[in-house]
Homo-oligomer: A and B are copies of this chain.
Amino acid sequence: MNLTILGCYAATPRTFTNPTSQVLEIRNRLFLIDCGEGTQVQLRKNKLKFSKINHIFISHLHGDHFYGLIGLISTFMLLGRTADLHIYGPKGIKEVILLQLKLSNSYTAYNLYFHELISSESEIIFEDEKVIVKTIPLKHRVYTNGFLFQEKIGDRKLDMNAVQNHKIETCYYQKIKNGKDIELEDGTLIPNEKLTFDPIPPKSYAFCSDTVYDESIIPIIENTDILYHESTFLETEAHLSEKTMHTTAKQAATIALKANVKQLIMGHYSTRYASIELFKEEAETIFPNVLLSDDGKTFEF
């Protein structure tokens, strides 16, 4: 699993900072999360393949999280895309994208599927054989969801020495990976745990932006491996944080602590501060495992 930060600054795009967008690669699937203005250029700069993105998750319809979406959809069109594209986001996203396509008299040659979200409860919005994605209802000035990406438990790993010692034929391998015991031709039963190792533990990633400090998300993100939580402000601006329905670094760390996550990544920084290191310093007074996102940075887990 790896995560590339295309943009992690609040509000407007600037010369050296970009609004929210990130790419999560998980079990060979590439998920785009949020799409602020300039995301397509950030994808190019970070040499990420446009064609590998088939699912885009939009947290909310504030500009710094989705004004780059229409441009990306248009560029997919110009690049001759044919693969389906799925977009998950708040109700209204379909209307605004289709209106812009209509006004420019441009229609995608690929299928564009909108999955509009309206629920205030966590729900599964994507699932295939390897990954499941759930919403994390957040509290912000407009309807907002975070997203929880969970790997499913994979097949058990074959212990090739054991399998070959017992001269088990290849056609049984998948059954063994699925956890089945094997009866040899002489009638001996070999229990599965003698033929396999435990599968790689599934990882999980929670994206929470934008939101006010809200403990009601804890049951949803509990024990997550990696939590990206917005930290627009420091505690010195707690009043602004409350007013604008954002979170301080200390509050983000408190959520990380109470939800027992392994790793906290901070982001959605206000550009008023001299250094983003200040967010880490403040968060570490509460929770030890803090990483700072920054535009162009990739994390491998």
Q: Check A45 for interface membership: any CB of B closer than 8 A.
A: yes
Q: Count copies of this chain in the complex.
A: 2
Residue pair A63, B71 in contact (C-beta under 8 Å): yes
Which residues in window 137-166 of A have CB below 8 A to B?
A: 141-142
Q: Check A200 for interface membership: any CB of B closer than 8 A.
A: no
Residue pair A141, B45 in contact (C-beta under 8 Å): no
Classify chain A: how many residues form its interface, as a range: 20 to 34
Residue of A38, A92, A104, A141 with most chain B CB atoms under a 10 A cut-off: A104
Q: Assuming A13-B41, A96-B100, A142-B104, is B67 touching A70 (CB within 8 A)?
A: yes
Q: Check A289 for interface membership: any CB of B closer than 8 A.
A: no
Residue pair B40, A78 in contact (C-beta under 8 Å): no
> Can you name the residue of chain B whose Cβ is closest to the Cβ of A17?
B41
Q: How far in angstroms is the closest Cβ of chain B from A117?
A: 13
Q: Check A61 for interface membership: any CB of B closer than 8 A.
A: yes
Residue pair A44, B14 in contact (C-beta under 8 Å): yes
Q: How far in angstroms is the closest Cβ of chain B from A227?
A: 25
Q: Check A11 for interface membership: any CB of B closer than 8 A.
A: yes
Residue pair B104, A61 in contact (C-beta under 8 Å): yes
Residue pair A63, B100 in contact (C-beta under 8 Å): yes
Tell me which residues across on chain B come within 8 A of A75, comparing CB atoms.
11-12
Q: Check A68 for interface membership: any CB of B closer than 8 A.
A: yes
CA distance A61 to B103 in the complex (A): 6
Q: Check A169 for interface membership: any CB of B closer than 8 A.
A: no
Residue pair A105, B142 in contact (C-beta under 8 Å): yes
CA distance A14 to B13 in the complex (A): 16
Which residues in window 1-19 of A have CB below 8 A to B?
A: 11-15
Interfacial residues, chain A to chain B (CB-CB below 8 A): 11-15, 37-38, 40-41, 44-45, 61-63, 67-68, 70-71, 74-75, 78, 90, 92-93, 95-96, 99-100, 103-106, 141-142
